[in-house]
Amino acid sequence: MATAYSLNHPSVRMYNMDIKDFSVNDITRDLGLGKGDIDVVIGGPPCQAYSTVGKRLIDDPRGKLFQEYFRMLSELRPKVFVFENVKGLLSMSGGDLIKTIVSLFRSLGYDVNTKILNAADYGAPQIRERVILAGTLLGGQFRYPAPTHYNPENGRIAGLKPYVTLGEAIGDLPELKNGSEALEYTVPPQNEYQELMRRNCRDELRDHNVPKNGEHLVRLMEALPDGGSPNDVEESLRPKSGFANTYCRLWWNKPSTTITRNLGCVSSSRCIHPRQPRPLSTREGARLQGFPDDYVFYGSRSERNLQIGNAVPTFLSLAIKESVKGYLDKYDRELTQEELLGKRGTSTEYIQTELF
C-alpha cells in the first residue's frame, strides 16, 4: 500500500515502517515539527482482535495497532483526529469496547463525536457503512458532512441526488470473458461519474482483468439473475458450501454492496458482475471505491485488490476532509479576529499526517 501511495503521490513524505518504530522524533528531525504542530491525524487501526476492555485494552498485545494510534495522539497532540473503523466496532464486547476507546481519547483532552456514515450518501456507488470518530481540542462543534445523495428506494429527497448505481459506475468498461483482460476502452464515458473516473487517464485501460474460473462456476454464474443467489438456480449448480452472501450477483441498478479484498473471488462476499459470468475486475473494484482510472496500484492482482478492498471510498474521504477543513477554518477565522485585538499569536499552517 505504501508503494502504491508513493507512486500516486510522489511529493508526499512516506514513512514505510512499522508504526511502533515511528515517533514524533522522526517528524521533528525531518520536518522540524513537534508536539502540537500537527493539525490533523487520520487513521483506522483494526480493532477485531480486541476482546478485553478497560485498562487491559492498552496492555493487550493483540491490540498493538490501537496502542500505537493512541500513542501517536499522545505524542503529536493534533488539533483534530479522525478514527475510522468497521460498523461492528459499536457492538464488540457488548458495546463496552467503543465506550472504552472514547474514554481513552477523552483522557487526552479530546472532545469526541461518534457517527456511522454510509459512503453511498456521499456519491460512492457502494453501500459501505463505517464508524467515524472525530476528536477535537479546540472546542466548538464538529459537524459531520451532510449527505449529498439519497436512496431512491426510500423516496425522493429534495436537493439531493439519487444514489450512484453500479451500472452507472462501471457500464463503460469493456466486456470480459472468463480469465480475460481488456487493455483499452471501447466506448466513451456515458455519464458524469464515468467522465470523472476517466478525466486524467491515459488511452490505455489498466487493471481490467479477471481470473479464470472452472466450467461449473461459469455455468452457475451464467444462471444467476440480477442480484441473485445460488437459491435462484437449479440445485445441480449450487455450491456444496458457502454463506448466504457468497456466490451471489450484484445489482446493475443499485449501488454495490460492500466490496472486500476478495472482490475477484466468486466464493467471497457478493462480487459477481450483474451481467457477465465472472467476478468483478480489479478496475471495477477501484471504480466502486472511487479511485480514478489513472490511479496506479502495485503488485499482484490479489495485492492490488487488497489495496482497493481495504480502502475508504474516496467520496467519503473527501466529505470528511471538508468537514475537518471547515472546523479548522472556523477556528482560524476566530483566531484571526483575536489577533486583530492583540490577544493571540500567529495562526497555524495546516499540516496533515495520515497513519495507516
Catalytic positions, written as ranges: 47
Strand 161-162 and strand 149-150: the pairing is parallel
Containing 111, the helix (H) or strand (E) segment is: strand 111-118
> What's the Cα-to-Cα distance from 278 to each of 185, 247, 302, rounded to whole Å?
19, 10, 16
Residue 227, all three cell numbers: 442480484
| 306-to-50, 165, 206 alpha-carbon distances in Å | 22, 23, 16
Report residue 7: phi and psi, to 5°: -65, -35
117 close to 316: Cβ distance less than 8 angstroms: yes
Tell me how far apart the alpha carbons of residues 25 and 33 are, in angstroms, rounded to a whole number.
9
Show Cβ contacts of residue 134 under 8 Å, excluding neighbours closer than 6 positions: 80, 81, 82, 83, 112, 113, 115, 142, 144, 323, 324
